[in-house]
Amino acid sequence: TVRELLSRYRGYYPAPRSVEETIALVGLEDKRDTRAGRLSGGQQRRLDVALALIGDPELIFLDEPTTGFDPGARRQFWGVIADLRDLGKTVFLTTHYMDEAQALADRVAIIASGRIVAQDTPARLGGRDHAGCEIHFRLPGSFEESDLPHLDDAEATVEGVEVRVRTAAEQATLWTLLGWSRERGVELAGLEVTRPTLEDIYLDLVGRP
């Protein structure tokens, strides 16, 4: 069973974690007395992680640990990794989920064809902190592109009522647009600001398919 396996592995280490605490960390409380062969694929992955954690290591290698997890279990496990990091553990995580790397990593290394092609914090990787943003909103049907205000250091694209503005000066561009909308009495429907995601940067670095 899950509890028996962890108890066995616990005996290999001089200062292991508590079995019950480790079971709770990976979210297998209701499966503690279930035999490993009867666990689902995702639950078996959680058991793998529990076996890695039971010895309370200082350095932990996790190779795609959330493969097979449902979204709720993935977020729960992210909390486990964050807690380990906060305890001062070093976690070396391999993942193909860019949102996972962005949420958890202090530093990211991107590997393509066996070589590290970029290495930095998630915020600065590939120049994300200087890549600017895209502002998107919808205009009322009575307005046209020529009605928009002049935007310094920004490029606006209008398709019907959909407007996309690429800018490196996020705050200044937003102030200009919001001031214009207030003066004209125009609602910028669906206003949102997006930045390049870590996945966008990854695809640019390794070459889009």
List, for residues 16-37, the tens digit of each pLDDT value. 999 999 998 888 999 999 999 9
- Do residues 132 and 168 make contact, with C-beta atoms less than 8 angstroms apart? yes
Name the stretches of the chain with pLDDT < 50. none
d(Cα 63, Cα 67) in Å, to the nearest integer? 9
pLDDT for 7: 97
Radius of gyration of the chain (CA): 24
d(Cα 86, Cα 104) in Å, to the nearest integer? 11
Instruction: Please name the helix (run of DSSP H) or strand (run of DSSP E) that holds residue 123, with its range, or none.
Output: none
d(Cα 21, Cα 8) in Å, to the nearest integer? 15
Q: What is the pTM for the complete model shown?
A: 0.64
Which residues are CB-contacts of 91 (< 8 A; sequence separation ≥ 6)?
60, 62, 81, 84, 85, 104
d(Cα 39, Cα 1) in Å, to the nearest integer? 10
Instruction: Please name the helix (run of DSSP H) or strand (run of DSSP E) that holds residue 171, with its range, or none.
Output: helix 170-184
pLDDT for 32: 95
Instruction: Please name the helix (run of DSSP H) or strand (run of DSSP E) that holds residue 84, with its range, or none.
Output: helix 71-86
pLDDT for 19: 96
Task: Pull the structure tokens for residue 182.
Answer: 């207030």
Question: Of the candidates 53, 117, 124, 127, which has an alpha carbon nearest to the alpha carbon of residue 87?
Answer: 53
